[in-house]
Structure 1
């Protein structure tokens, strides 16, 4: 039902008028560097079980984006991380997501697969299994990290070829990703 003065239909209770707003979910995560490599987690859960991703997931209520990124690194990689600033903010309109990804490093030694990961590994740029990356935004974040040489700078946004995050999951590897 469309409310007066609104530009879109909303789920609205006909009896009491309550409006159930549907808003994007916030995803938080990190490109965690260890030496010359980056940490990737092989997903144990759907979607894209068996594929590699960054330690990331949905922000919880009453949590800052920084707290959420650190929690996700612990849940997925049993890693305590230190955040070094925002790397990227991506709008994934087709999924109703906003992704906030940080530059990070280990705050203390050690990592291991958490309950949502089959394994956790550190990959140099040349070793990254590009054909087994779970989501386009993981490719984008890795490329943004590499392009910034891992150093703090302004956060990047969606790449020009996918401004709304609308491309399908199984698109080709972005030019320049593998080398």
Structure 2
């Protein structure tokens, strides 16, 4: 009986390394497992924010920002624009980096942009529906992921700023709830 490729791999610390890696016991190949990069945007038109109701798992039926995994051969900006097209059939104009979040438990790094909507919208294959929401009408209890709440909050804090350092993970993010943040003045 021949071994399958997965049977040939074992976790161990390779020589000269400082952490366990998946190493092929036959040839010594190191299968580096690295975080996945997610690119997305807080997309706005006339003070309204684009949200997409997910048609796929995880969190099918919940609302999210247009975002998804980056593909090989594309920049993070191209990935964010592609995700807006795939999820909302939207053309967007990226303004600047809004935030970068690290989600340790699922091995993700999320890069979120501020962007303007430059087209009409309609649901793409990954969305049940799409909509433009006033801040007060965002379905906070139906948002898919904590990072959506973070990005919306960071957008509200910086929406009138022309220059700012990108935001990062909020303090205490291990116990984030899906409760609505308190809207900043004038939102």
- TM-score, scaled to structure 1: 0.91
Deviation at 1:176?
2.1
Deviation at 1:150?
4.9
Secondary structure of residue in 1 paired with 2:42 = strand
Q: Highest CA radius of gyration, 1 or 2?
A: 2
More RCO (CA 8 Å, sep 6+):
1
Gaps of 5+ in 2: 1-11
Secondary structure of residue in 2 paired with 1:160 = coil
Aligned length: 173
**8 Å CA contact 2:100, 2:169 repeated in 1:** yes
Q: Which moved more, 1:145-154 or 1:39-48?
A: 145-154
**8 Å CA contact 2:146, 2:178 repeated in 1:** no
- Tell me the residue number matched to 2:67: 56
Equivalent position to 1:96, from 100, 107, 122: 107
Matches within 5 A, 1:118-137: 118-137=128-147
**Runs ≥4 residues deviating over 4 A:** none
Matches within 5 A, 1:9-158: 9-107=20-118, 109-152=119-162, 153-158=164-169
Q: Give CA deviations for 1:36-84 in whole Å, capped at 9, x if unaligned.
A: 1100000000000000000000000011000000000000000000000
Quote the Cα distance in structure 2 between the aligned partners of 1:4 and 1:146.
48
What is the root-mean-square deviation of aligned Cα atoms in Å?
1.7
Sort the Cα spacing of 1:76 and 1:175 in 2 relative to 1 into closer, same or farther, 3 A. closer
Gaps of 5+ in 1: none
Secondary structure of residue in 2 paired with 1:87 = strand
